[in-house]
Copies of this chain bind each other. A is one copy, B any other.
Amino acid sequence: MNLEDIIALDKADPLAHKRQEFELPANTIYLDGNSLGALPKAVKTTVAEVVTQQWGEDLIKSWNSHNWIDLPIKVGEKIAPLIGADSGQVICCDSISVNLFKLLSGALKLNYGRKVVLSTSDNFPTDLYMVQGLSELLGPELCALQLVAEQNIEQSLNESVAVLLLTQVNFRSGNLLDMQRLTKLAHDKGILVIWDLAHSAGAVPVELDKCDVDFAVGCGYKYLNGGPGAPAFLYVASRHQAAVKQPLSGWMGHAAPFAFDPKYQPSASINQFQSGTPSVIAMSALDAALDVWQDVDMLQLRDKSLALADVFIRLVNGQDCLSELQLCSPDKAAQRGSQLAYSHDDAFAICQALIEKGVVADFRAPNILRFGFTPLYTSFEDVWKAVATLATIVETELFKEQGFNVPLKVT
A202 is an interface residue with CB less than 8 A from chain B:
no
* Oligomeric state, in copies: 2
A138 and B136 form a contact (CB under 8 A): no
Interface residue stretch chosen among A182-190, A207-215, A229-237: A229-237
A408 is an interface residue with CB less than 8 A from chain B:
no
Q: Which residue of B lies closest to A129 (CB)?
A: B264
Known: A262-B128, A264-B128, A276-B97. Is A133-B230 also a contact (CB below 8 A)? no
B262 and A130 form a contact (CB under 8 A): no
B97 and A248 form a contact (CB under 8 A): yes
B133 and A61 form a contact (CB under 8 A): no
Interface residue stretch chosen among A36-44, A110-118, A295-303, A393-401: A36-44
A126 and B250 form a contact (CB under 8 A): yes
A96 and B276 form a contact (CB under 8 A): yes
A364 is an interface residue with CB less than 8 A from chain B:
yes
Which residue of B250, B282, B365 contacts A130 across the interface (Cβ within 8 Å)?
Answer: B250
A94 and B276 form a contact (CB under 8 A): yes
Q: Which residues of B contact A123 (CB under 8 A)?
A: 262
Interface residue stretch chosen among A5-13, A48-56, A158-166: A48-56
A354-369 with Cβ < 8 A to chain B? 355, 360, 362, 364-365
Interface residue stretch chosen among A253-261, A328-336, A339-347, A384-392: A253-261
The distance from the CB of A141 to the nearest CB of chain B, in whole angstroms, is 13
Known: A98-B276, A275-B98, A365-B260. Is A125-B229 also a contact (CB below 8 A)? no
A39 and B55 form a contact (CB under 8 A): yes
B248 and A101 form a contact (CB under 8 A): yes
B129 and A250 form a contact (CB under 8 A): yes
A124–B252 CA distance with the chains assembled, in angstroms: 13
A191-225 with Cβ < 8 A to chain B? 221
A355–B64 CA distance with the chains assembled, in angstroms: 13
A279 and B229 form a contact (CB under 8 A): yes
Can you report 17 A-B residue pairs in the complex whose CB atoms are below 8 A from each other? Answer: A36-B59, A38-B59, A39-B56, A44-B56, A47-B47, A95-B250, A96-B277, A123-B262, A126-B250, A126-B276, A132-B249, A133-B248, A137-B247, A229-B283, A232-B276, A260-B364, A279-B282
| Shortest 3 CB-CB contacts between residues of A and residues of B | A95-B276, A97-B250, A97-B276
**Besides the contacts A68-B228, A129-B250, A281-B282, what 10 more A-B pairs have beta carbons closer than 8 Å?**
A55-B227, A60-B362, A94-B276, A95-B277, A121-B262, A122-B262, A125-B264, A221-B277, A228-B280, A229-B281
